Amino acid sequence: METEAYTGPDDPACHAAERIGRTDRNAPLYGRPGTAYIHMNYGIHWLMNVVTGPEGFPAGVLIRALEPDAGLEDMRARRGRPELTNGPARLTKALAIGPALQQHPMDRAPLWLSDAEPVEERHVEVTTRIGISRAKDRPLRFYDRRSTWVSRR
């Protein structure tokens, strides 16, 4: 899995940065931790975050990439390309993630994150976030450096 953290109002790249505050668009980011925050990127692609802050505090983690272990044929049909889930927009397209899953608890069907073996610290790559213009120098992107399912190296 590859993720990017957005740490709340003090993070200029967060959808609920201090200059923005709470809006109808970002309200799900203030919700219960462990729920989905789905948003449209550039008016084209849905992206999925998981709320991580305590309820009322807008922090989340963008799911940038993951290694699927089931449903590959369905994902290939949705994507129509060999790249399935190595990028936040590819991932949502492959998994048919959209606004219907807004605030979905990520511990149950139809879409959930399951427990996995922890990645040893020596295999965790920490880099700056990518694809953003504000606070892009913060080391808040994380992935397993052994994975072939990373959006960009």
- pTM of the predicted model as reported, rounded to 2 decimal places: 0.94
151 vs 86: CA distance, rounded Å:
4
Quick one: how far is CA 64 from the chain centroid?
A: 5
**Residue 28 Cα distances to 6, 57, 129, angstroms:** 14, 10, 22
70 vs 32: CA distance, rounded Å:
27
* Amino acid (1-letter code) at residue 57: F
What domains does the chain contain, in order, with CATH numbers? 2-144 (3.10.300.10)
* Amino acid (1-letter code) at residue 22: R
pLDDT confidence of residue 19? 95
Mind listing the pLDDT tens digit of every residue in the chain (153 residues)?
899 999 999 999 999 999 999 999 999 999 999 999 999 998 999 999 999 999 999 999 999 999 988 899 999 999 998 899 999 999 999 999 999 999 999 999 998 888 778 899 999 999 999 999 999 999 999 999 999 999 986
Residue pair 39/15 in contact by the 8 Å Cβ criterion:
yes
pLDDT confidence of residue 153? 67
Beta pairing partners, 36:
50
pLDDT confidence of residue 38? 98
Residue pair 95/75 in contact by the 8 Å Cβ criterion:
yes
